[in-house]
Chains A and B, each alone.
Chain A
Amino acid sequence: MSKKLMAVFLMAVVTYAIRVLPLMFCRNKIKSKFFKSFLDYIPFAVLGAMIFPSILFSTSNIYFSMIGMIVALILAYYEKGLLTVAVSAVLVVYCCELIF
């Protein structure tokens, strides 16, 4: 097996092991109110950390990204769908790239 293929194999095994072990072995409902709240807040904490500041560096220009982000925030505030928000952000950034 080539080294590249070995690396791909290891990446896949590690990623899957991380995903499967807790789901397989944690069968009891967790009792602690604190820990349950902690787990409930994880999606928000992860998303917050993933969006900002990475979003600023997701396109070729930090200011275009900021404009895209503001458009996305406004549309999301008015509860537009996932796709509408994503596509609008892309189009706004694209227009910025064409204009400036």
Chain B
Amino acid sequence: MQVIIYNREKEEGEILNHLSNITNNPSVSERKISKDEFLKGVHQGIPITLGYIPVSFTFGLMAVDGGIPIWMTILISLTNLTSAGQFVGVSLIIADTSLFEITLATFVINIRYMLMSLSLSQKISPKIAPLKRCMMAFGITDEIFTVASLEEQEVTFSYMMGLTICPYFGWALGTILGAMVTSVLPQALQSSMGIALYGMFIALIVPVAKRSKAALVVVIISVLISSSFKFLPCINVISDGWSIIITTIIAATIGAFIFPKEGD
């Protein structure tokens, strides 16, 4: 009898030890943090997703209208995840241009992601493994990058995955809907949806520009330069892709000259 009680106490002790091991176990608390980070990302990704659906819907409509098979249109959205690049790439495919031109155009239009990726590399821990970096890189779009880069803290793997997942599937879903439903929406609504993504950009940028003079000045410079590329007669031959690249480099350089950031 005593032996049994002794054994039970011993067992209970072991169980308690085991339990306290679980709660103190760093991997468990880390997992909890990752989950919170992931959910935070998902939460912040929802507005991006809703902004993407009308855009990818338009993309689906346009591609299928131009003669790209439905399955290929969806494949493009699943593998590319980029608005301007896909629109231009598909219009070149439809126009039957050479593979070299399509590749070069994609490169020029998307080269801004290189700057974003470089910028993001400064906001993540140097310890993040290569495979995780590969997965994080896939989600670098203008909107996802902007939301991630406006984060105060270090950008973690879980946060980035959470932030990417909904926009990724939203992008695909919008494409599928657009590819299937060729013209159910009234024309007026279809055309007014074009402004949705820009409205989202404005909502991203204005609250920050309101508080930071540096951000406001960079935005104004950037708007002035990109407008010159569009409206000044001698330089308006430049493509939209190049215009964004050149404008970004000039405006960010001027910003860094006038307002170099202090601290770390």
Contact surface of A with B, Cβ cutoff 8 Å:
3-8, 10-12, 14-16, 18-24, 26-30, 33-55, 58-60, 64-65, 68-69, 72-73, 75-77, 79-91, 93-94, 96-98
In the complex, 17 of the A-B residue pairs with CB atoms within 8 angstroms, ordered by the A residue number, are A6-B99, A15-B80, A36-B122, A41-B259, A42-B252, A43-B145, A44-B205, A44-B208, A45-B247, A48-B219, A48-B222, A49-B251, A54-B198, A77-B207, A81-B203, A83-B200, A89-B202
Q: When the two chains form the complex, which single residue of B133, B214, B253 contacts A24, counting CB atoms closer than 8 Å?
A: B133
Query: Is B205's CB under 8 angstroms from A48's CB?
Result: yes
User: Contacts A8-B76, A34-B256: A80 and B149 contacting too (C-beta < 8 A)?
Assistant: no
Decide if B166 is an interface residue (CB 8 Å cutoff).
Answer: no
A11 to B119, CA, bound (A): 23
User: Contacts A11-B102, A48-B220: A4 and B93 contacting too (C-beta < 8 A)?
Assistant: yes
Range of interface residues on B (Cβ < 8 Å): 35 or more
A88 to B204, CA, bound (A): 15
Query: Is B260's CB under 8 angstroms from A53's CB?
Result: no
Main SS at interface, chain B: helix
Q: A37-B256, A73-B206, A97-B191 are in contact. List 18 more A-B contacts (CB 8 A).
A: A4-B93, A15-B110, A15-B113, A24-B130, A33-B260, A43-B116, A43-B146, A44-B218, A44-B251, A44-B252, A45-B249, A45-B255, A47-B222, A49-B247, A68-B195, A82-B50, A85-B199, A93-B192
Contacts of B126 in A (CB 8 A): 27-29
B159-177 near A? 1/0 per residue, CB < 8 Å: 0000000000000000000
Query: Is B203's CB under 8 angstroms from A75's CB?
Result: yes
Among B117, B203, B231, B255, max chain A CB count under 10 A is at B203
Contact surface of B with A, Cβ cutoff 8 Å:
47-48, 50-51, 54, 68, 72, 75-76, 79-82, 85-86, 89, 92-93, 99, 102-103, 106-107, 110-122, 124, 126, 130, 133-134, 136-138, 140, 142, 145-146, 149-150, 188-189, 191-210, 214-215, 218-223, 225-227, 230-231, 240, 243-244, 247-249, 251-253, 255-257, 259-261
CB nearest to B191 among chain A residues: A60
Query: Is A24's CB under 8 angstroms from B137's CB?
Result: yes
A87 to B136, CA, bound (A): 29
